[in-house]
Amino acid sequence: MKLFIRNLMLFTITCLIAFAVLVTIEKTILNNMGQFKLSMGVKYIFMGHSHPQMDYNDKLIDSSVNLASSGEAYFYTYIKLKKILESNSDKKIVFVEFSNNNIISQMNKWIWNDIYIYDRYRLYWSYTPNTERKLLYTKNPEASILCDIKSVVTNVYYIFSLKNIAKDERMGGYLHLERDKTDSLLQASLIYARNKRPDMSISPVNLMYLRKIIQICKDNGTKVILIRSPLHPVYDEFKNESRYEEVLNSQFNDVEFLDLKNFPMINSDYGDLEHLNYRGAKKYSLFFNKLLKEGLLDSADKQKFINDQMALEKWQN
Amino acid sequence: MLFNSLRFAIFLPIVFTVYWLLNKNLKVQNFLLFISSCYFYGSWDNRFLFILLFSISIDYLSGIQIEKTVNRNIRKFWFCLSLTVNLGFLGLFKYYNFFEQSFAEFLSAFGFKESFWTLKLLLPIGISFYTFHGLSYIIDVYKGRIKAERNIINYAVFVSFFPLLVAGPIERATHLLPQIRKKRHFDYANAVNGMRQILWGLFKKMVIADNSSEYANKIFNHSAGQSGSTLFIGALFFTFQIYCDFSGYSDIAIGTARLFGIELYRNFSFPYFSRDIAEFWRRWHISLSSWFRDYVYIPLGGSRGGNWMKIRNIFIIFLLSGFWHGANWTFLAWGLLNAIYIMPSVLFKTNRNNLDIVAQGKYFPTIKDVFDLTLTFILTVFAWILFRANNIHHALSYISGIFSSSLFTKPEISPEGIGLFSLIVLFMLIEWFGRGQQYAIAKIDLVFPKAIRWLTYFGLIIIIFYLSGKEQPFIYFQF
């Protein structure tokens, strides 16, 4: 029995040491790969989930980079942005999407459900601070531990195969959406909407991470602006608008907020009720670029500036 | 609590350590096994625990009453009581919904619209397995093959021992009870063997079975319009999924029991290296096949009567075996197909031709062996389609889809699917070279030095974590 336990311990320790060596190699190399270094001249960064990812075509917006990623909760945006700010000394302006679905309790799943842990935590494993790691271990220990090992092995494999597949996934970026199924969805959503109760719940954890995003930007001297990108007028999550405004006004009244949800679009500009397809993204990105060029960020009343420009855009079309 | 879960990874070392610390007192040790088993089983649903405990109590009492009573009628009463309770629970929880639905469909076919008292009963996990433990015990006591167990904890451990509780192997009182009664001694080699078998079982389950299930599900769930070659690949993936899922579970169960100094029945013996269907059934789910052989086939007359009797008995046990798997016509059809498969070898008395291991002592099989192995394997693959399909119609359309001109086109399979297929080929090679052992890597300590062995284990652990697919419950939990 003693021999069995001794050998078992010895084997476990050997495995742990081997694993620790892999982790050290992996962390050292990845941290020196400059994965989060942005191109020179980038001034504006767009961050958030799928809405900004599909809405901002950064090729059409001067000095900008879209780093948003589908299914990304503020928790993961925080980890990513922290590394970006550490890796880029020049000051930037960060636009963080703040949409109606960013506040709902569903966001908890986006942080610690199995599938999100495997998809997201794996990407940021080497960069995740201990506090955030602890949160995942508390909420979903099994998936977190499994993901720890998967991440290290994946990263080591990428390093030694000289592949950097994970970089694009890690950083996010504009997604060219072809589809146009808004009309059919609209038909369905009218039936669906009658039966669905509004989701008035909120995710305090996700909102806490938005606060942390704001704080690291402030600490770094980076300007952060919350933004709500265009949404179709019958977008389902609008039902929590009162709750949304309450959260915005009570918890984030110290941060500038730009509301572009009413940007004039036709159905065929949407991929669905919450994402723009490439046509809509082109139209909207050109408009946003114009806003920036015409001095949106220097304007005293930014929302009025936007509303006037949107009214003009509507009139012109 | 799944074997491939973190909870089990915490549970097992705790029970193992406490168990061997209590080595001086067998009664306390057995009590610990019983309590641990209750906790293990209750972790799914506490309500199911009461059914298990009730079943244990009835069988325990019946066993003693049967043994101590001389009056034949009273003995018969206790025997029937135990059978009724065991089969009653099984019938109620497992088959009620099926019969009710089938009867309603039958009536509706004649234009009757009957509404029945619908019970949406949840199937208590492992009920088919522990019911068969109880049945074998009570039949053996009734037939005078064994003495009734007087210690209720011993009996409860026999039925509920956590490694085998939910998906077997199906044990016999004659094999397991003496081990429970006897003081166990820690054996280093046995424990290491157990750990190794657990590791191999986890690899089979988490890497091969769970990954194969993703492809098998994808193809089976969207089989309409798929090419014949893709459908065949889907059936192949399921063939490996079910084998690695169930034999992986059995490996973990047997390995875990070894850690406690208990030897369980072997449940699989490389069934895909069988040269005929009779050999396949001697190698697949051995504990169930032998149960049906001993408690159904032989009492029915076995192969002692004429051909008609043999045919009848073969059909009975295969249909029962299919029905044991679940209340679905697909399982019955699967049983029926296997009965048809095995019939020629029974009638021509060739069913005991292949009792040895294929190409024993050789690296490669002969051409005849290759032909026999391939034919048996393909027959098995087609039988698994019936087992996996959602209903008979689905199975038939799936099989007819395979036999189309598109069978010879390039299958639609992703590069990851091809990678998995290569891994399965590698896995089968390892199984081939280890086919003479209890499990493929059982004798690794005789072949490799310690450093290589440890490196192999470390590699397996890394592969398990890295390649493990989406966590899937064990298929046989539903039976």
A15 interaction partners in chain B (CB closer than 8 Å): 458, 461
In the prediction, which pLDDT does B213 show?
92
In the prediction, which pLDDT does B120 show?
59
Report CA Rg, chain A: 22
Cβ–Cβ of B466/A154 closer than 8 Å? yes
Chain B residue with CA closest to A4: the answer is B188
The mean-pLDDT minimum among A164-178, B76-90, B390-404, B421-435 falls in A164-178
Architecture of the domain defined by A43-107+170-316: 3-Layer(aba) Sandwich (3.40)
Per-residue pLDDT tens digits for B360-385: 888 899 999 999 999 999 999 999 99
pLDDT band at B77 (very low <50, low <70, confident <90, very high): very high
ipTM: 0.71
Nearest to A142 among B6, B461, B462 (CB): B6
Mean pLDDT of A164-169: 61
Chain A residue with CA closest to B196: the answer is A8
pLDDT beyond 70 at B121? no
Nearest to A146 among B7, B462, B465 (CB): B465
pLDDT band at A198 (very low <50, low <70, confident <90, very high): low
What number of C-beta contacts closer than 8 Å exist between A and B?
35
B458 interaction partners in chain A (CB closer than 8 Å): 14-15, 18
Nearest to B20 among A1, A7, A15 (CB): A1
Mean pLDDT of A125-133: 88
pLDDT band at A211 (very low <50, low <70, confident <90, very high): very high
Question: If contacts are CB pairs under 8 Å, which of residues 446-465 in chain B contact chain A?
Answer: 454, 457-458, 461-462, 465
Rounded to a whole number of angstroms, the distance from the CA of A10 to the nearest CA of chain B is 10
Cβ–Cβ of B188/A153 closer than 8 Å? no
Please indicate if any CB of chain A lies within 8 Å of the CB of B22. no
A18 interaction partners in chain B (CB closer than 8 Å): 458
Strand partners, A228: A259
In the prediction, which pLDDT does A235 show?
78
Two structure tokens written together for B264: 């369980």
Nearest to B5 among A14, A18, A142 (CB): A142
The mean-pLDDT minimum among A38-42, B121-125, B160-164 falls in B121-125
pLDDT beyond 60 at A193? no
Angle subtended by helix axes B228-259 and B415-433, to nearest 10: 50
* Best CA proximity match to A279, nearest among A292, A261, A266, A262: A266
Q: What are phi and psi of A223, to 5 degrees?
A: -80, 135
The mean-pLDDT minimum among A116-130, A159-173, A210-224, B267-281 falls in A159-173
Per-residue pLDDT tens digits for B435-454: 999 999 998 888 888 899 99
Looking at every residue in chain B, the average pLDDT score rounds to 89
pLDDT beyond 70 at A164? no
Sign (positive or negative) of CA dihedral B289, B2, A110, A56: negative
Cβ–Cβ of A145/B454 closer than 8 Å? no
Cβ–Cβ of B461/A142 closer than 8 Å? no
Cβ–Cβ of B6/A18 closer than 8 Å? no
pLDDT beyond 80 at A114? yes
A145 interaction partners in chain B (CB closer than 8 Å): 6
Distances (CA, A) of B312 to B291, B302, B320, B343, B379: 18, 10, 12, 10, 22
DSSP string, B410-430: PP---HHHHHHHHHHHHHHHH
In chain B, what are the helix, strand and coil shares in percent, each to the nearest 5? 70, 0, 30
Contact of B234 with B223, CB cutoff 8 Å: yes
B20 interaction partners in chain A (CB closer than 8 Å): 1
pTM here is 0.79
pLDDT band at A180 (very low <50, low <70, confident <90, very high): confident
pLDDT band at B82 (very low <50, low <70, confident <90, very high): very high
Mean pLDDT of B403-417: 87
B471 interaction partners in chain A (CB closer than 8 Å): 114
Two structure tokens written together for B176: 């397991």
Mean pLDDT of B94-107: 72
pLDDT beyond 90 at B104? no
pLDDT beyond 80 at B407? yes
Alpha-carbon gap, residue B229 to B241, rounded angstroms: 18
Alpha-carbon gap, residue B426 to B467, rounded angstroms: 14
Distances (CA, A) of B435 to B257, B285, B310, B351, B358: 22, 16, 31, 21, 9
Cβ–Cβ of B195/A8 closer than 8 Å? yes
Nearest to A149 among B191, B195, B465 (CB): B465
Two structure tokens written together for B103: 């009867």
Mean pLDDT of B157-171: 90
Tell me, letter by letter, the H, E, C secondary structure of A135-185.
HHHHHCHHHHHHHHHHHHHHHHHHHHCCCCHHHHHHHCCCCCCCCCCHHHH
A7 interaction partners in chain B (CB closer than 8 Å): 192
In the prediction, which pLDDT does A314 show?
76
**Residue with structure tokens 């000394």?**
A89
Nearest to A14 among B192, B454, B471 (CB): B454
Active-site choice (B222, B325, B393, B394): B325
In the prediction, which pLDDT does A167 show?
63
Nearest to A153 among B5, B6, B462 (CB): B462
- Whether B325 is a known active-site residue: answer yes
Rounded to a whole number of angstroms, the distance from the CA of B167 to the nearest CA of chain A is 23
pLDDT band at B116 (very low <50, low <70, confident <90, very high): low
Per-residue pLDDT tens digits for A67-81: 999 999 999 999 999
Count Cβ atoms below 10 Å from residue B289 Cβ, excluding itself. 19
In the prediction, which pLDDT does B465 show?
81
* Best CA proximity match to B312, nearest among B321, B324, B303: B303
Alpha-carbon gap, residue A233 to B189, rounded angstroms: 70
Per-residue pLDDT tens digits for B130-159: 999 999 999 999 999 999 999 999 999 999
A114 interaction partners in chain B (CB closer than 8 Å): 471
Which helix H or strand E contains A5, and what residues bound it? helix A2-31
B457 interaction partners in chain A (CB closer than 8 Å): 11
The mean-pLDDT minimum among B92-96, B199-203, B242-246 falls in B92-96
Chain B residue with CA closest to A144: the answer is B6
Q: Which residue has the higher pLDDT, A213 or B414?
A: A213
Which helix H or strand E contains A259, and what residues bound it? strand A256-259
Please indicate if any CB of chain A lies within 8 Å of the CB of B444. no
In the prediction, which pLDDT does B468 show?
75
Which helix H or strand E contains B392, and what residues bound it? helix B392-402
Please indicate if any CB of chain A lies within 8 Å of the CB of B433. no
Per-residue pLDDT tens digits for A23-41: 888 778 777 776 788 888 8
pLDDT beyond 60 at A191? no
Cβ–Cβ of B458/A14 closer than 8 Å? yes
Chain A residue with CA closest to B23: the answer is A1
